[in-house]
Copies of this chain bind each other. A is one copy, B any other.
Amino acid sequence: MKLLRINVADQSYGYEELTGDDLLLGGRGLTNKIITEEIPAGCDAMGRHNKMIFATGLMPATAVSSGGRLSIGCKSPLTGGVKEANSGGIVADSMAKQGLRGIILEEKADKDSLWVIKIENDTVEFIDGKEYSGLGNFALAKKLFEKYSEDYAIISVGPAGEYGMMGSGIANTDMFSRQSRMAARGGIGAVMGEVKRVKAILIPRKGKSELPNRNKEAFKKARVAFNTCIATSDRPKAMKKYGTADTVMPVQKLGGLPTRNFSEGTFEKAEDISGEALYELIQKRGGCGRSWEPCMPGCIVQCSNVVPKANGEELVAPLEYETIALMGSNLGLGSLDEIGELNYIANDLGLDTIELGGALGVMAEAGLVEFGDFEGFKAIVNDVYTGGMQGRIAGNGAGHAGTLLGVRRVPTVKNQTMSAYDPRSVKGTGITYATTPMGADHTAGLTVFVPRDHHDKEGWVEISRNIQITRALYDIAGICAFVTSATAMQPELLRDMVNTLYDREETIESLNQMAIDLMMSERAYNVKCGLGKSTDRIPEFMKEEKLPPFNVVWDVTDEEIDAMWEDQE
């Protein structure tokens, strides 16, 4: 297992071997180690001291279901703190086949340069990529596949990343050569696009990953147990049929569906944009439509989908719950076609649909566009391509839009837009938003499927904490969070895979502690960046404004929040 360091200022590079305990540095564990040890906390996230780390998990290309997540980390220009965002697709597997656990981009490139970096057979090639400047992710991938063949997986940024927008993410190739798997959050696309001036990284898909373990059979047995658990579990099955969109109606029922810039918790057209509606639309239209599809080989969950237009051609793939809420109900849009079209453009631009949806909601509240005005929103999003002013406002996130426009109902934590669970109605996820080092981020510890009163704050700190530990562990392992609904109750399954793959004697406790230590390290780094406990806060308006229709407020106290990690810090 190797780390590849690439200096974008002088185009030099070098490899390092990972050994010993460092072999357990996967995904978010590896990104955090490089960030905390090598990126000065006080540095300018858009300056030369920031680094960008791409890390596989612990078991890519091993036929572990959903084990091919790619973690991307840096100091976040959006939050100003530690950042890891991860995505599916085939990049992590491809890296593993090149013997790579991690790729690190260092230094700042000349601002007039733009690079395509090809990594193959221990060789790094810098290719002038200026001809691709301004291209969306889809047009870019098409050109690169034409030139280099579809034998490569691509990591890329769209125009939003090139412009250095704070809402920009990084796109990765899925197993059907779609450039639509977004490591979306925290403005990481700005670091790749503007600081590193890297338009795309190409890595061959083919090859064989060398496993580090001595006992292949033991690992295989552990893997089969893990995969079987997923295959026989209920929740993954539900996701297969409806995708993550199956979350719309439950959250609507809780009164936590972000609607018209988080001013309401239910949307009158929720059924029209629900998982059921999406399933019916796909079935009815046929064509390229698919209600379930994997993003990486071997995934059992297959939460993804392909949404067809009326003529059967592809509208967008996949369409996910958080996008449906933030770019749908939050904007007063009740049509899956409209949401899907905006989603496609956002993917092409390389924008985080959560951050973009948050910003558009703020812009609508400011009167720049009407809630429900699809053409108006579309014009703003398209304005990003040319760096127009409306596009810049939308592309830099809800926090900045709020300041500029004088809107104070801004749904952010650490300047990052929260996703599709209003904290007033989904207390546990609100606690996650507040306490995760990442800024408002449901993936750090989603609580909405825990069968318990979500309006009553009692007990949710403990639940959020436990889910955050599990999620962090899976982020280290590089395994998709969507399997945890099946596997989290049987932690020995993951333990056995780690031990048999890496010849370790980890316990459930030692693995959990590794996850806790990771988060404590991230939090300590954040403190050095200025993101201490005072930033572990849900926005004040949510304490003051009752959320219709249940008229709930954010009532978890600062003391309750601050107590979460006090035994570890």
A interface residue numbers (CB < 8 A to B): 41-44, 46-49, 163-166, 194, 387, 389, 392-393, 396, 400, 403-406, 408, 527-532, 534-535, 537, 539-541, 544, 558
Contacts and interface: CB of A to CB of B under 8 A. Distances in A.
B408 A404 contact: no
B392 A558 contact: no
26 contacts: A41-B534, A42-B537, A42-B558, A43-B540, A44-B408, A44-B540, A46-B408, A47-B541, A47-B544, A49-B540, A163-B406, A164-B408, A194-B406, A387-B406, A389-B389, A392-B404, A392-B405, A392-B406, A396-B403, A396-B404, A404-B404, A527-B532, A528-B534, A529-B534, A530-B534, A530-B535
- Counting from the closest, the 6 A-B pairs by CB-CB distance are A44-B540, A530-B534, A164-B406, A47-B540, A46-B408, A42-B534
SS of A interface (majority): loop
Contacts of A532: 527, 530, 532
A558 B535 CA distance: 23
A260 to B, nearest CB: 18
Contact of A44 (B43, B405, B541): B541
Contacts of A46: 408
Contacts of A530: 530-532, 534-535
Contacts of A400: 400, 403-404
A332 to B, nearest CB: 22
A406 B537 CA distance: 27
A539 B42 CA distance: 10
A405 B166 CA distance: 11
A530 to B, nearest CB: 4
Contacts of A165: 406
A404 B532 CA distance: 25
A434 B194 CA distance: 27
A258 B541 CA distance: 39
A392 to B, nearest CB: 5
A252 to B, nearest CB: 28
A424 to B, nearest CB: 16
A272 B43 CA distance: 38
Contacts of A540: 43-44, 47, 49
A405 B46 CA distance: 13
A387 B367 CA distance: 12
Contacts of A44: 408, 539-541
A438 B404 CA distance: 22
Contacts of A41: 534
Given A47-B544, A48-B544, A404-B404, 10 more contacts: A41-B534, A42-B558, A47-B541, A194-B406, A389-B389, A400-B403, A527-B532, A530-B530, A530-B531, A530-B532
A267 to B, nearest CB: 25
Nearest to A47: B540
Nearest to A163: B406
A49 B527 CA distance: 25
Contacts of A403: 166, 396, 400
Contacts of A194: 406
A442 to B, nearest CB: 22
Q: Give the interface centre of A43, A408, A537 by most chain B CB atoms within 10 Å.
A: A408
Contacts of A49: 540
A90 to B, nearest CB: 31
Between A393, A406, A558, the greatest number of chain B beta carbons within 10 A of the residue's beta carbon is seen for: A406
A359 to B, nearest CB: 11
A539 B541 CA distance: 32
Nearest to A387: B406
A44 B47 CA distance: 29
Contacts of A541: 44, 47
Contacts of A164: 406, 408
A392 B407 CA distance: 12
Q: Which of A393, A530, A535 is most buried by chain B, counting CB atoms within 10 A of its CB?
A: A530
Contacts of A42: 534, 537, 558
Chain B CB within 10 A, most for which of A393, A396, A532, A534? A534
